Every structure is written in structure tokens, then in C-alpha cells.
Structure 1
Amino acid sequence: MVKVRPEMRQLRGVAAAPGYAMGAARLVGRQEAEIDPRSISAEQAEAELERLENGQRGAQTELEQLEITARETVGEEEADIVASHLLMLDDPDLLDPIREKIGRDLLNAERAVAEVSDELIVTLQALESSYIKQRADDLRDVRDRLLRHLRGDGGDPLQGLTEPVVLIARDLAPTDTLRLRKDLVKGFATDEGGSASHTAIVARSLDIPAVVGLNSATGEIRDGDYVIVDGVNGLVIIDPDPPVRDEYRQREAAYRAEREALASFRGEPSVSADGTHLELMANIGSVQEARTAAEQSADGIGLYRTEFLYMGRARLPTEEEQLEAYLAIIRTIGPDKPLIIRSLDIGGDKELPAFGLERESNPFLGYRAIRLCLDRQELFKTQLRAIARSSAYGCVKLMYPMISTLTELRQANALLEEARRELSAEGIPYNPQMEVGVMIEVPSAVLVADKLAKEADFFSIGTNDLVQYALAVDRMNGKISHLYQPFDPAVLRLISMTVDSARREGKWVGMCGEMAGQPKALPLLLGMGLTELSMNPSSVLRCRMLLSQLSMRDAEQLAEQALKSESAQEVEQLLDNFLQAVK
């Protein structure tokens, strides 16, 4: 552990892109165009509408060129981020109210753009879904770009860089991040942002270490300060002394060496040192993420979050649109690799305008996931038909979320059978042997897992919800987030009970919650008898390398000890000691 003197000042944020960066700080501002908040006369309205059109055209041209550059030099996922900004820039839901404010309310173009955009941004930020909140960041980027073009100013926050620096900013737009030159930007740190933001995605793609969500970086750091950006642990150290600088140089060298070691496991089988196979799968929500999973040589897709097909649109996706989305994933990973599609998991923290859901006082215990689907059966059956049809073209499996009773599983399967009968009558192919599984996220599902295992083909444990329901902890509540403990003995016992129930019926058990991607948890989960773990694609190679160093016998002994432990802290110490011995 690095010893940091108090005068060195250490800021803690969110690790957005791994790696280490050291050097002189350069403060930059995300240039929000100045707004001239004036009214106009009726005679000036036509000219303002023309200014809006010209500004929109200029912003589009700029984004189109950036999209081409991103596709050629970075990747498809990053180019698609720019493409989504182009769609926003041409969205009637944005432009029509702006034109109305100019023509009816007689506001100048800048003020109209600012008012409409800011209203939409506030609405999006009020929603619980982190995915929807990300759209607010994208819209802010589009707004700023359009305002700059209306003002006739490029407003480039990165201009003037001539030597390598560490960027410090309140925020960086994803399109600004795409234009970062690795030879001039060693890393960056921002006051705002999260690990799932488009800015973070781009930073990871460019291999630029980044820490976001620091809150006070721009206030604490001055131009020219020597700083260390620790993108592994989410730290920024200001004015480190020579021993700390040396330590971080060693860390950087070790990190580079580990990256090279991980690369050697790409394409290798996921097996332990004594030959036990464990499928290491990927959680995805898009074709872009499936592409990343394939690049990381994941053994398949263990969780495809289909709710993303419904987000950011005014109407529900059709059966054909859903089918094409599933087929695009199959084409990306190949027809022989497993693709586990989770049926619609809307509600809770995922609110969508197209569903017209009423706000609930406790949405996590409310109208969501399988409950919503069983209530809106035509909507559910449309998805079931699309999933069944996709099974004719790949190794597709279906998984129902938030099953809490055997009755729910039976009702869902009855609708699936109805969908299959319809497809048969229409002469549309599907795989009648497609496996159908259940997500174990609710303690009641664990208690009736012996019954569920008789009628389900597999279980996938969703630890994100299972932990919060089992321990009665809202993981989004900062005051009690320390109580959210995946390694709590109560949680481990629920996992063990689930595995035991499945084994008695000859069924397999996987895990698709965040716990599945934690290297610390890997030997424990292996020893508990799980046969599949699904995780963020970036975690696959690290887990594969660790798996190659483990033996099943040692892992089983570790699991036996962990299940006898009395606290999460005791379990974590046990795991730390085990991994230290492995290393």
C-alpha cells in the first residue's frame, strides 16, 4: 500500500478507465456556448429559424466527420456513440419544440435551444435508470455543440495542447474524448461522470487512464501541479513525493506486464489447473458490447439485457425489430456460442416513457419484470415469439427475470407454448428444444428452488438484486451502501441452497450479477459448484487467467470454510488469504 502524506492530497472518485498516468496537470473547460437570452420580433422569427437550420447543418457536418474518424481509428461502439448524437440532432422531439419557441414565443435560437434542451435534460436526470441518465449527458453534448455553431465558435476545449499532460476538467463530452491524442494526453480526471458513461467507454477504448466523479478536482488542482491518475483504484494524488512516484512507476510497469499476460489467454479454454471447465460468459445490452465480448473471447453471452431495445424510443419495438436485434448478436458471436436472452426486465430503476408506468413509492417491490410481462401478455408474447424464432439460428436460451413463485414460471411457460403453437401454425421455424431458465433474484425463489428446478432447464443467479432483497439494503442509498455485502454468509447460503436444489434435478447453475465478475469471488463460486459465470466483457480474460491457477479441490475447501464464516469481513479475509497463496 502506498503511503500518501497528508500534504499530498488524495482525491477519491470512480475508476473509469484502468491504468496509471503521471505528469503535469492541465485544466480545461468543457465550453458551453454563451447564450444571448433575448426576445425577437415576429419579423425576425424567419431569420432565427434559418440560423437554427444553419447551426444544425454545421453541427451535423462536424459529427459526421467525427463518426467516420472514430469508425476508422477507434471502433464501431465509439462511432455509434457519435451516430446517436447525430440522431438526437435530427430528432423532432427536440427540434419541433425549439422551432415552436422561436416562431410562437419569439425567442432567439440560442435561448430556444437552451430552454428546450435543459427541460429534457432535467427530465432524463430525474429518472432512476443509469442508462436513461446517460442520454442526458449525450443531450448536453448535442446542446453545447449546436449552441457553439449558432454562436459561430468551435469552442474546442482541447486546443493549444503541445506537450503531454494530464487533463483535469469539470466534465469531458464523449465527442471531446474521442479527439484526444494519446501522445498528448496521458490521462484525465473529471469532477463529474460515472464508469458507465460514454466518456468512460471512449477512454477505455483509447486506453487512456481516467478517474471521474471526483467532485472537486478542478477546485483542488492547479495548472502545472504534478498529479497521478490511478485508474485502477479511482484515485488522484496531487503533488506526490519521490517514493510515491517510484511506487506508481513500478505499478505501471506491472500493469503493462499483466496486460500482456492477459492477452495470451485470448482464445484459450476456460479451465482450472486440474481440468475443471467453467464457462466465462459476458453480460451485454447491444451489438457493440457483443463485439467486445467476442474480442475478449468470452465463451458466450450469459445475459442479454433486452430492455435496451425498448429504451430511447416513443413506440415499442415490433417482433421483426426484436428478431433482427437477436440475429445481429448471433452473427457477432457465432451460431455455436450460447446466447442467453433475458426477457423484458422493465420497472424498478428502469422507467421507460413508452410504457406509461405510474411512479411507485417502492418500485423495486412493485410492478416490474415478469410481473409486468404477465400482466401485459400481448407485449410479452411478441417478445417470446421473436426469441423463439431466433433459436432456429443459434444456440439461444431464454431466461425469465425476478421469478418469485412456481406459478409465475408456469404462467410464463404457458405463454411461451402459446407463442410456439402460433409459429408452428404459421410455418415459422424455431427450436422446440430451446432451454428455458429462471433468474434467482428473490429469496422466495431460493426457498422453492427445488420445485423450480423440476420445470426450469437452468438457473442464473442475479446477485445484484438477490443481495439487496436478502439483506434489505437499497444499494443506491449512500447512507447504507456499506451494508450491501455480496460476501455476507446469508447470501452465500442462498447461493449454496440454489446450487444444491439444481444439482438434485441435474440442472446447471450460473451467475450473472456483478459478483460473477469479481476475481476475488471466482475461487469461491467455483468451489460452490457454479458452472457458468457471466460478467462485463472486460473481466473475462482476467478471470480466465486466475481460473488456470486454481484447483477444484482447493476451491471446494475454500467454499466449505466460507459457508461456516460469521461475517462478510471474515469471508473476504479468507478469500484475500487464499488468493495471496495462489499468487
Structure 2
Amino acid sequence: MRSVLKGGSAARGMALGRARLEQPGRILVDDRPLAAEEIEPEVERLLAAIGLARDELRTLRDKLHGTLASDVGDFLEAHGLILADRDLVAGLVDLVRLGRYRASAALKLQRDKLVAVFEAMEDAYLRSRKEDIDHVLGRVQAALVRESSVEERKLASRVGEILVSDVVAPAELVPLAENGMLGAVLTNGSTLSHSAILARSLRLPMVVGVDEALGSIADGDLILVDGEHGEVVVHPNAQDIARYRHWQREQVQIGKRLARLREAQTLTRDGVPIRLYANAERPADVARARLSGAAGIGLYRTEFLFLQRREIPGEEEQFLAYRDLVLGMGGLPVTIRTLDLGADKADASGVALEEEPNPALGVRGVRLALRHPQLMITQLRAIVRASSYGPVRILVPMITLVEEIHSVRRMLDQCVRDLRSTGQDIAGQVELGAMIEVPAAAIALGGLIRYVDFISIGTNDLVQYVLAADRANDHLGTLYDPLHPAVIKLLAQILAIARRARRPVSLCGEMAADTRYTALLLALGLEDFSMHPGALLEVRDRIAQLDHAALLRHAPALLRASSGARIAGVLDRMQA
């Protein structure tokens, strides 16, 4: 019998297929004790599975690009660090050698022990990290039982299927999508989680928060995932399927229209020029940015140069990477963000940092740079040297105080003087900008902005800091709302201050790439957007449909609205 299940739209699109029910993290156990002669072969089998799981994570990390690599890559790196933990591996080996447990049983025992430790923690954030243990040990278990032919059959069986599960790790989505999975339905999850961000980039329809999914959907049921409206139709009827076919035909036409926009200028319907830049992290992102007609690179994340290694990259290595980036953009402007590592990722980078209970609010971004000035000086020198090959700007993350800008400015000026004194060919001036993602910097921007050449709004962190809500926390999905009046008022204030100070301002968070917010951002006065390259054509198409002058007239109504729901209502009327 047909039924409709409601949830949240995490990734737009529609998919029709057979349900595949799955419980992530489940470890199948062979509890037979090992004979003496089986112990060492079982240890070798366990270590090989850990190595294979680690290699898979590294391969997945290399496949990710841009925003995806930054956001989802954090999870992959965290999981890689867990697999590299000597105590974890030694504990598993001891269970096999001393306890005569088979590898699968050792994984189950270790998992239960670690989860119990995490569940006993008082800090809610740390308690939530028990899911990392599930995902990592589940991946080792999958590697443990894998034979290439079995795995190929398993992945091939995903063709035409839709995952129905409690949760799905970002690392699991990539191979599933590559092997034909059509969409995902989750009982848990947030529309702003890392898995949701990844699903959007993969164009994989996803509906989350469907509480009754596992109880209402049977394995093999035909289901229609409607990521446009946040619902799942179980046993769809002829009318549902006709609606899906109509949507498919529309997507073909939209694809043709977007292809024609690759070389087009970004203009509103009334002819106002808007600049669309690309976020990037790896060389492949640069090629995608050029292909999509980006006006330049609005945010180049440098963390990938530092991660998954034991030594800090030197000036020459960094210079060559930045030079290739600048040359790859063929004279278009490039904004390079300085290192934004925290204690959660530093262990994978060779940067020595103490563990912190909350790395998101700890020593990261400019705070790390000022504690390790040589790290910053090396990076600044490399960027300044690359500036001789094309227009380059430097963006500093996590700015909170004017004094931080002054300190970085002094470092930059000294680097320029030193390089010029040795005869280095560098640009006449390399602009210095601040990432506005800390509420204190946004509120006090009037006093800070005179000391920078430009600013960039990082909405991903700004929104969660303003609302005190982790965007990856499934239980806080309703709190993390970019349309909250406090967020909208703060964005309007930032844009107004930048306009009065005649400083360029761009926005580079997920909001820039989401066409649901395009009209809102234009109404608030934003003219420079920066997003992952895959979103550029859709946003350009959306901008072409909007009348800029009409949108500006709605700004007062947006700022008067007292709730996110009322702001959404104003947006609906603006675009009617």
C-alpha cells in the first residue's frame, strides 16, 4: 500500500529504485576460539585489513575536491588517524594473540569497549564521536571479509538501489554513488551534516530525519525519494512515477540550458553584474573552475598541502603549488587562505598541538599562526613569491581581534622586504584580507575593516557560532538555520559596513552555493559569491532570473522578520 514518509531535504533531486536496508557499523562475529597455529595468520589478516581500510580512506580523500575535500575530508582524516592509532591496533592484536579471538570478534570487543568509554563522557560533542569508532571498525570489518569478486558483486548490486539506514558516513557515500546507488533515506542525520554536503556535491538525492523509515520500508520495496520536498513515497503509484518522469525530462532541459551558460557573463535580469568565484583545494578544482566560467578563485584552501604527512611542507614546495594555481587561472584573481588547522587535524600534519576538548573553538587559523610564527612566515613567503605569476590575495581565517590583523600585516611586510632584498620578483602589492566567521569580528567589523584590504564571509562557521549549534549534530538540525533573524541581521550589517568602507566583500560558505539563498543574499547587497565549481552554473542561472532592484526593496522586510519561518515567507513572496 502506498504511503508517504516525511523528513528533511538534505540533497535535492529525485530517485526511483529498490530499497536496500542497512545498519552501518554492524560487525558480524565469528566467536570460535583460534587454534595455536591459527593465531599468527589471523594477526596478519587483521593487519592487512587495517592497511586496506587505511588505503581506501586515502583514495577517497584524493577523489574529493573543493568544499567537499575540506568538509568531508575532515572526517576521512579523523578516521585515518583512528586507524593509525598504535594503542588501538596493539589492543586488537593482543586480543587475537593473547585472547585467541578471531579478528571479527576482536573488532567487536574493541568497539564495545571504546563506545562504552565515549558514552560515559560528560561532553556531548565527545560522546557523539562514538559514531567515528563504528564507522572505522566497520570499514576494517568490511575489508576483513572482502574478496574482490564478492565486493564487486556487492557494489554492482547497488545499481538502481536506494540506501535506507540510520546514518551513513561521508566515506561510505563515494563508493556507493560511484557504483550506482541512486539516493539515500536516513532515519537520523542533519540537512547540514558532512554527509548531506557530500550528497549535494555528488548530486545524490537524500532525505534525512525519516523516523519511521526502517519500520515502514522493507528491503526491496520500490520507493521514490523526493529530495525537492523532503519526502519518501513507499510503493509509489502511477501518478507518482509520472511526476518523477516529468522531473527527469525537466532536468535534461535544465542541463542543456546550464551548458550554454559556461561562457556567459553573470547578470541579473535587470542587467546588474554579479561575480561568481570558485572555492578550490586541489589542481582538479582549478580546471573545473575554468570550465564553469568562474571569475577567479575566491577561496583556495591550503590545508591539503599539510595533511596526511609527518613533516611540514617547506617554502619551495608551497611556492610551486601556489605558482601552479596562479598560472592555472590564466590571469584571473586568486585568493589564498592561510592554514586553518586545529587540534583535530594537526596530528596528521606534522604540526605539534596539544589535544583540545573543543577544537572548533581552540587554536586554529590565525591563532595557530601566531603561536607558530615560522609556520605563517614560510607560507606568506611562498604566497608572495607566487604573486609574480598573477593577481594573488591573502585571506586569514578565524580573525577575532584587530591585533591579530596587525601581527599578520607585520609578518607580511617583513616577508616582502626580505624577498625584495634578495632580488625576488614579486607583485607590487599583495592584498591582505580577513575571514569573517567569528561573531566578535562581525560585530566589531567597523573598527577592524580599515586595517584590511578586503573581507570574506565564512557562513559555515559564522552561522554555527552565532547560534551555538554544531551543524553536524543531528539533534540540532532545527537550531542550525541560516535564515535565523540574528544571522540575517549580522550578514546585512557586515555587507553595509564593507560598502561604507569601500572594501570588497565576498561570501564563501554553503549559502553561496545554495540557490535557495541566492535571492536573499542579493537582497542584502552581496555581489561577490564564492562556491564549489559544481554549483557555479546553477547559481548563474538563478541570478539571471532575478530582478536586482526589486530584491533590494525587500531588504527591510527581511530585517523586520522575527523568525526564520517569517523570513522564508518573505523570500517566497520575493520570488513569486
Give the TM-score category using the shorter length.
0.7 to 0.9
Partner of 2:13: 19
**Quick one: structure 1 residues 389 and 120, their matched pair in 2 at CA, closer, same or farther if it must change by over 3 Å?**
farther
Q: Displacement of 1:156 after TM fit? A: 5.5
What residue identity is the alignment partner of 2:517?
A: A
2:406 aligned to 410, 413, 418, which one? 410
1:235 aligned to 215, 223, 231, which one? 231
- RMSD over equivalenced CA pairs, Å: 4.8
Q: Secondary structure at the match of 1:430?
A: coil
2:303 aligned to 299, 302, 307, which one? 307
What residue identity is the alignment partner of 2:333?
A: P
The answer to whether the 8 Å contact 2:188/2:474 transfers is no
Q: Displacement of 1:476 after TM fit? A: 5.4
What residue identity is the alignment partner of 1:222?
A: A
The answer to whether the 8 Å contact 2:25/2:135 transfers is no
Q: Displacement of 1:228 after TM fit? A: 0.6
Mapped partners of 2:319, 2:150: distance in 1: 42
Mapped partners of 2:568, 2:329: distance in 1: 38
Deviations 1:307-346 (A, max 9, x none): 3444444444433443344345445x52322222222233
Mapped partners of 1:88, 1:406: distance in 2: 37
What residue identity is the alignment partner of 1:148?
A: V
1:511 aligned to 507, 515, 519, which one? 507
**Quick one: structure 1 residues 426 and 113, their matched pair in 2 at CA, closer, same or farther if it must change by over 3 Å?**
farther
After superposition, residues 478-497 of structure 1 pair within 5 angstroms as: 482-497=478-493
Q: Secondary structure at the match of 1:392?
A: helix
Mapped partners of 2:165, 2:464: distance in 1: 35
What residue identity is the alignment partner of 1:25?
A: A
The answer to whether the 8 Å contact 2:96/2:102 transfers is no
Partner of 2:498: 502
Q: Displacement of 1:373 after TM fit? A: 1.8
Partner of 1:334: 329
**Quick one: structure 1 residues 168 and 103, their matched pair in 2 at CA, closer, same or farther if it must change by over 3 Å?**
closer
Partner of 1:346: 341
Mapped partners of 2:279, 2:118: distance in 1: 25
Partner of 1:147: 144
1:110 aligned to 87, 103, 106, which one? 103
Q: Displacement of 1:234 after TM fit? A: 4.2
1:357 matched to 2:354? The reply is yes
Mapped partners of 1:302, 1:134: distance in 2: 34
The answer to whether the 8 Å contact 1:348/1:363 transfers is yes
What residue identity is the alignment partner of 2:555?
A: A
1:387 aligned to 383, 394, 398, which one? 383
Q: Displacement of 1:116 after TM fit? A: 11
Partner of 1:530: 526
Mapped partners of 2:340, 2:347: distance in 1: 11
**Quick one: structure 1 residues 28 and 34, their matched pair in 2 at CA, closer, same or farther if it must change by over 3 Å?**
closer
Deviations 1:374-399 (A, max 9, x none): 12212222222232233233332111
1:539 matched to 2:535? The reply is yes
Deviations 1:20-61 (A, max 9, x none): 12244354677977444566577655544555687789x69x
The answer to whether the 8 Å contact 2:156/2:179 transfers is no
Q: Secondary structure at the match of 2:389?
A: coil
Structure 2 residues without counterparts, runs of 5 or longer: none
Greater Cα offset, 478-487 or 516-525: 478-487
Structure 2-normalised TM-score? 0.77
Mapped partners of 1:570, 1:487: distance in 2: 9
Deviations 1:468-489 (A, max 9, x none): 4445555556666544443445
**Quick one: structure 1 residues 290 and 154, their matched pair in 2 at CA, closer, same or farther if it must change by over 3 Å?**
same
Deviations 1:228-276 (A, max 9, x none): 1123444322134444444444334334433332232223211223332
Mapped partners of 2:343, 2:89: distance in 1: 31
The answer to whether the 8 Å contact 1:20/1:209 transfers is yes
Q: Secondary structure at the match of 1:276?
A: coil
Mapped partners of 1:483, 1:577: distance in 2: 24
**Matched residue count:** 551
The answer to whether the 8 Å contact 2:193/2:473 transfers is no
The answer to whether the 8 Å contact 2:17/2:224 transfers is yes
Over the matched positions of the two proteins, sequence identity in percent amounts to 31
What residue identity is the alignment partner of 2:535?
A: S
The answer to whether the 8 Å contact 2:42/2:103 transfers is no
Q: Displacement of 1:434 after TM fit? A: 1.7
Partner of 2:179: 180
Q: Secondary structure at the match of 2:265?
A: coil
Mapped partners of 2:301, 2:209: distance in 1: 26
What residue identity is the alignment partner of 2:14?
A: Y
Mapped partners of 1:128, 1:330: distance in 2: 39
The answer to whether the 8 Å contact 1:121/1:139 transfers is no
Q: Displacement of 1:410 after TM fit? A: 0.8
Structure 1 residues without counterparts, runs of 5 or longer: none
Q: Displacement of 1:285 after TM fit? A: 3.8
Structure 1-normalised TM-score? 0.76
What residue identity is the alignment partner of 2:179?
A: L
**Quick one: structure 1 residues 381 and 444, their matched pair in 2 at CA, closer, same or farther if it must change by over 3 Å?**
same
Mapped partners of 2:153, 2:213: distance in 1: 17
